[in-house]
Amino acid sequence: MEEYGKILVFVMPVFLILIVIEKMYGFYKGEDTSPNMDSVSSISSGMINSVKDVLGLSITLITYDWIETKLAIIHLEANVWAYIIGFIVIDFYGYWSHRLSHQINFLWNKHAIHHSSEEFNLACALRQPVSSFVNLFTFLLIPAALLGVPPKVIAIILPIHLFLQFWYHTKHIKKMGILEKILVTPSHHRVHHAINPIYMDKNHSQIFIIWDKLFGTFQEELESVPPVFGITRPALTWNPIRINFQHLWLMITDAWRTDKWNDKLTIWFKPTGWRPKDFEEKYPVNKITDVYAFEKYGTQHSNQLMYWSIFQAIITLLFITYMYNSIAIIGLPNVFIYGAFIFLTVYSYTELMDTRKTSLFWEAIRFLFGIGIIAYLGDWFHLNLVFPFASYIIIGYLILSLLVTIYFVNTNFERNKNTSIA
């Protein structure tokens, strides 16, 4: 928990700097691929995913340590060869877990968040799941276990392998020559994120593109078919927590509404997007039928709301940075209380981004929760030891956030509504 938090304190600024550079480059080239609200939503998704991971809010049914202990034919030392073998096996594991997430209905729920952005930029790489509470695919690491790759090597490679998938989420890097035959490039991954029929469910590889070519899922990006990004059942929200559970909720309601017990049981394991017969007519959901003729979500919003959303994301990042730097000081169970505050914060301000009036309810809950934490602990998780009067600053921020939310809900939203009617 603490070690991973420390790693993220270093990695997060690097990612954010690269996101800002991409934004500036887009302005310079006259091709801004990173709308502000979309980027705030993506960064917010990354924040709550990282909190979930740091808090260990997931279960691995079969651990790699156990598999390696039971199956190892030989035992490698933690040398260069162990890291090379471990990396290749993890990439193989990544290909198949990724591909299955696209092909099996209930697994798509944890992956839909990553594809939910209707843009393609570095920020959307941060759209990672909080709904994946159980790791089902550790068995795919059996080749590494057979060769006795030490568990600590796997533990080191896994986050590195994930972070190396960040850079190719961009439209600004075109095809890369000989590297297109070896590595997953931005061109390959644009295909993967596209909803054009020719591109759907292609290019699942994560580092080495060889897996797609080997298993028949490779598709080159075509100049004649510009990729269109998103998901065919658009999320229609900036709230990453809502996005994380939309597909699951649809499956639950479909399973409840169908009269056939066979459908109730098999809907979870059917191909992604499958619904019982006639449900598209009986219980229609919004679905894109023409990828070149649909309106992207959230293109109409006030500049005031946009700037406030950016401010909220920055403040939340500061909260998270202190949390990751101070896990040992915060201690258990308080670190889980802190995590709950972060989740509530992101839910509240992304509801506001969606211009939902219920955002005021969630902001009021967050205000009371934050004040309650300070009243119970005497300060903000010992932050006063680092920065005197920190609790008063946080109380001031919570009051300001509540007042601004009241303003948007009761004034700004109504003004925008009247303007659109006129």
Domain ranges of the chain: 60-215, 303-421
Model pTM score: 0.93
Are 313 and 43 in contact by the 8 Å Cβ rule? The answer is yes
Mean pLDDT of 110-122: 96
Give the span between the Cα atoms of 153 and 75, in whole angstroms. Answer: 12
Give the span between the Cα atoms of 365 and 279, in whole angstroms. Answer: 37
Give tens-digit pLDDT for 166-190: 999 999 999 999 999 999 999 999 9
The whole-angstrom distance between residue 221's C-alpha and the CA centroid of its chain comes to: 24
Q: What is the DSSP letter of 229?
A: B
User: How sure is the predictor about 132, in pLDDT bands with cuts at 50, 70 and 90?
Assistant: confident
Give tens-digit pLDDT for 244-287: 999 999 999 999 999 999 999 999 999 999 999 999 999 999 99
3 state SS of 310: helix
